[in-house]
Amino acid sequence: MIDPVTAIAGATAAYNGLKKAIAVGKDLHDMGSTLNQWAGAMSDLDFAHRQAENPPMFKKVFGASQVEQNALEVWGHKQKAKEMREELKSHISLFYGPSAWKEIVHIEAQMRKERKEAIYKAQERKQLILEWVVGIALATVMSIVVGFIIYLIGVSQGAW
């Protein structure tokens, strides 16, 4: 799972870098790597938020309080990201015009799509494999226990 703390830390660092660059009047195209870092961190935060809303089955069963805590933590980070986005939008629109913000939104959408295809699908696949392995192991153990109980009942009744 993508760590929401790491995602918000990356977004905050990129956001601060963008604010400084805007303040000194840097050209928007010179801030490309910082914009990509910010867009990637925002995408990671969105993914962490989706995962917190729909946690894996074993986390629901064995860590209910941790799931709720994680969901609240991600929600708080999401609110901070929302504030950063609004402030960044106003700064960029003020200094570079509304078309520059549309360009950034386009970059962010492209980054989200690329990360979804590359990173997030791999993580979801890994999560699905883990859930199946745990489920099969649990079913196997339960079958062995039930079989052993049936055997003990048969032995006690003299059937075997």
What is the four-CA torsion angle of 60, 66, 68, 70, rounded to 10 degrees?
A: -110
List pLDDT tens digits, range 64-92: 566 677 777 778 888 888 898 898 888 88
List pLDDT tens digits, range 27-61: 767 777 887 888 888 888 888 878 777 776 666 66
Taking the model in full, what pTM does it have? 0.63
How far apart CA 53 and CA 56 sit, in angstroms, is 10
Q: What is the mean pLDDT of residues 141-153?
A: 96
Helix (H) or strand (E) holding 160: none
List pLDDT tens digits, range 101-146: 888 888 888 877 888 888 888 888 988 999 899 999 999 999 999 9
How far apart CA 100 and CA 105 sit, in angstroms, is 9
The reported pLDDT for the residue numbered 67 is 64
Helix (H) or strand (E) holding 158: none
Helix (H) or strand (E) holding 31: none
Q: Which amino acid belongs to residue 59?
A: K
Q: Are 8 and 80 in contact (CB under 8 A)?
A: yes
